[in-house]
Structures are given as structure tokens and as C-alpha cells.
Amino acid sequence: MITLHNLTHTYPLPADACGGAPGAALDGVSLTVAPGEVVVLCGPSGCGKTTATRLVNGLLTASGVGDGDSEGWVRVFGFDPGVTPTAQLAQRVGSVFQDPRTQFFTTDVLSELAFGGENLGWAPARIRARLDEVSARWGLDGLLGRSVFALSGGQKQRVICAAVDLMDPPALVLDEPSANLDAEASARLAQAVADWKARGKAVLIAEHRLAYLIDAADRFIRLEAGRITHHLTPTQLTALGPATQAALSLRPIPPPNAAAAPKTPGGGGGMGLVEMREVGYWRRVGPASAGVGRGRHRQVVRIDHLTVRAGEIVALTGPNGAGKTTALRWLAGVARGGRGELVVDGVRWGRRRRLGGVALVGQDVNVQLFANSVLGEVRLARRGLSADDAAAILDRFDLRHLAARHPLTLSAGERQRLAIAAALAAGRPLIALDEPTSGLDLAHMRQAAAALQELAAQGRAVLVATHDQDLIAACATKTHPLTPPPMATPTAQNASGPPGF
């Protein structure tokens, strides 16, 4: 049983790194999660979901410094997470976080699974027995020897779940576990949650995307500004309908049909038609990065024909591993090699031309922001851009009031819009975006969609790789599904390895 009793938590600083607003991050929250029950915390960014999960898994008091003050109490099967030693707590609460890439402590699957048991000082025989059990349950037998860097996001998240399961904690806390997963991986995650529920675990999940949990969850609790506003059963939540859900800033359930709603393209700019023809890309796959051992080449992208017109927003869809990211990197000229051509208004663009003519907003905007102010970031996009013009662009993306802030102090949604604003400021005809809405709540997703529509209205051709159905429904004029190329055809002369470090 997870119990929060009249819990109030205040961070010492306003605008904390956890996205907390000034004031109390949690304000008099009481809730319980019984064994065999799945409770989902939802609500807009900064509503206190993450704070709640971090109080349950003990992270907020683990260091005891600068974490803020709590009133009320938390109990997990009788223990106070704030004072329970790390090792004991790990056996009572298992945690899964948002980004599958950052949760690994080791570099190979087997070590990662064993990590928890080793930390608890279990005998190797006991760890091995548990390991066999969880790897069978989570379908990981084929992955045990792999490097974690060779896994897809969904596989990584599954390994993390299994690693947590190895310690067999009665309570589980998941903080936006699906933010980086595609539909299929989310569905598998939902199965995993259902499995935990069936085995009598108490599961608490903080999430923006709710649709995939609708069958597994028992209750949805909506928070806003640190307070509970709604208790909903799955049936009640679905019955609210899209309009009410939107008013509560919840993503629509059931999700909209992605292919629906053809929209008229925005205003035509100077440039008309962009075509990708016969694009193929190969990558060396093989042993771990340090490079001792053999590798081989495998095709990772295949696009026969794709067109984007100025003013159009084309959604590039497909499961993880379909090559969406690589396709965009090729398109933007940052990935060397590959085959095929990009033709813009009848003119073939070589790699150099693409590098200067396509603005790329990559998956992780944190590594694409270089200036020390929001305004500076936009001015950096094009030499000679005046402060007034840059401010005008910020206005279009509702960022003007943040002009003096350091980009990394912005919320995830604001940072994404800033990267989009910088792409517009660069003045390039074609803009490619990679998963611009992963981890965003409804409001920020809508703002991102509006930002894309602004790009189209400015006459840009927009290509956006995404598996966010809500985003597609909100702004895409067309979808282009991408399928993973078949595993065969390793042709050496087409070798186009990623650029060296």
C-alpha cells in the first residue's frame, strides 16, 4: 500500500529544475494505492505529478539538502521513504523514469539486470535464479548479451522494468515511462503494468499520455497546481469526451485517428515542391563502440518517393527503428553518405546544399541550444538578424516574455518552441523536425502544433518525424508512413557509416 496523507511539498527556489512553479508543488494531497491497484497521476506540466513520485521513491529526501520542505506524510508498505536506507527502500519501491537512455548504470543488459541484486548484496545464485525468471517473463532471453547502447528505446525501457522487477518490490513508481516510446512499445509497457497489477503490486504512474493505460489503470487522478481536482475511473475518463478532456488539459482518449483531418496547406512561399527520391542509408552494425570485433552493414532507411510542398506539414510516421531520425539527418545533410536524391523545384540538392538549405530540429533540443539567452538563440540562427526581428519571431511563438532567460531554464515545451523559432529565423525553405512533442503535455503539444503551423504559414515546407497521434491530428496535412527496411542487403560499396566522433 502506497499512502500519501495530506502531503504538501515546497521547493526552496521558484522555477525549479523539476519544472515546479513557485509556491507549493504539492498542496494537501492524499491518496492511496492498494496492492493490485494501478493509479495514474495526470495533469498539466508542473502540476506536481513528478514531485509526488519522487516523494514516494525517496529521491526528494535522499540527499536532504535543498530539496525543499514537506508536510504530511508518505508511507510505502509501512515505511517512510524519507528515512528508509537506500538498500531497504529499493526492495520496497521500484522506479522507472522517463528517458530510457539515462537509466542505465552499466553498459550491458545482463549486468543491468543483476545490478539491483548486487547492490543488495544477494548471493550470486539467488541473483541468477531471479535473473532467469525475469528475463523469461520480460522476453529478454535474446538480449542478455547485448550492449545497452544497441537497444531500441522500447527494449531499453523493458530491460529497466525487468531490472526493477528482479528486486521484486511490492510498490512501483513510474514517471512518464512512455514519453520516448512508440505505439507498440507503449502497448507492451501497458501489458507489463497489467502484469504487475495481476501479481498484486501497487503501481503509481505519472503520465501525460493516458490512452495506452486505459485498460490497465484502475483510477486516474488529475492534479493541477499541486492539488487533486478529479478522481476518475477509466470509463469516466473516456466518457468525458474530447472537449472536456481538452479543457482539463488531458490528451484525448481514445486517441484521434491520425490519418484523419486533411487540412489545407498554409500560404505558398517562394519555393514549391520538395521531393525525396530513392533515398537509402546503410549503417555499420555490430560489436560495441570501442571497435574490437567484427561488424556488418545493414540498410536503415528506405524512402522511394516523398513530396512536401511549401506550406505543407508532412508527418513521417512509423515504429521506432523505421529510420525516421536517420532519414531526417540525411535530408539535413548532417549524415554523410547514403544514396538517393533531394530535388527542390527541379534542382538536385547535394549534401552541402542540404546542409545550408534545410533547418533541422533534432530529437533532443537540449544539445541544439547554444546561446545564453532566448533572444540570443534566435539571433544566432542567422547572421545579421536584428534584435527587433528576432523579438518579432519570439512573439510568433509566444516566447517574447522569456527573451532574457537562459534557454536551459525554460520548460521542455518552451525549449522545443525556441528551437522551432530558431529554425524559422534561419530563413531556410525546408524545416525537418524529429519528435518535437515527446514528453509534452496537451497544452505544450498544442503550442508545438501551432508553431509548426506558423512555419507552414510562413511558406516553409515542414517534414516532421513523429509517433504522436495527437500532433498529427492537430496539424499534419499529410502522413508518410515509413517501414523498416528488410534486414538483408549488406552491400559494402554503399557503406555509409555515421560520421566519426
Residues 53-82 that bind another protein (CB under 8 A): 57-59, 62-63, 65-66
Residue 14 as a binder of another protein (CB under 8 A): the answer is no
CA 318, 319, 322, 328 torsion-angle sign: positive
Residue 87 as a binder of another protein (CB under 8 A): the answer is yes
Question: What does the block give as the cell for 178?
Answer: 512512455
DSSP 212: G
Please give the residues from 430 up to 459 whose contact with another protein meets the rule CB under 8 A.
none
222 or 324: whose CB is closer to another protein? 324
**Least distance to another protein, CB of residue 215, Å:** 27
CA distance 239 to 21: 31
CA distance 232 to 137: 31
DSSP 337: -
Please give the residues from 269 up to 298 whose contact with another protein meets the rule CB under 8 A.
287-294
Residue selected from 139, 241, 254, 356 as contacting another protein according to rule CB under 8 A: 356
Helix count and strand count (H, E) for the chain: 16, 18
**Least distance to another protein, CB of residue 365, Å:** 9
Residue 196 as a binder of another protein (CB under 8 A): the answer is no
**Least distance to another protein, CB of residue 483, Å:** 25
Residue 215 makes CB contacts below 8 A (sequence gap 6+) with 190, 194, 234
Q: Where are the alpha helices (DSSP H) in 138-233?
A: 153-166, 183-198
Using a 10 angstrom Cβ sphere, with 0-12 exposed, 13-18 middle and 19 or more buried, the burial of residue 65 is exposed
**Least distance to another protein, CB of residue 305, Å:** 24
Interface region with another protein, contact rule CB under 8 A, candidates 70-78, 162-170, 449-457, 462-470:
162-170
Residue selected from 78, 121, 270, 384 as contacting another protein according to rule CB under 8 A: 121
Please give the residues from 204 up to 263 whose contact with another protein meets the rule CB under 8 A.
none
**Least distance to another protein, CB of residue 406, Å:** 4
Interface region with another protein, contact rule CB under 8 A, candidates 33-41, 100-108, 259-267, 305-313:
100-108
* Count of residues that bind another protein according to CB under 8 A: 86
**Residue (of 317, 360, 329, 321) closest to 466 by Cα position:** 317
Interface pattern 366-405 for another protein (x via CB under 8 A): xxxxx-x-------xx-x---------------------x
Residue selected from 83, 136, 355, 392 as contacting another protein according to rule CB under 8 A: 355
Question: What does the block give as the cell for 461?
Answer: 515546407
Question: What does the block give as the cell for 375?
Answer: 533572444
**Least distance to another protein, CB of residue 90, Å:** 3
DSSP 279: E
Phi, psi dihedral angles at 278 (to 5 degrees): 50, 45
Residue 149 as a binder of another protein (CB under 8 A): the answer is yes
CA distance 475 to 296: 40
Residue 106 as a binder of another protein (CB under 8 A): the answer is yes
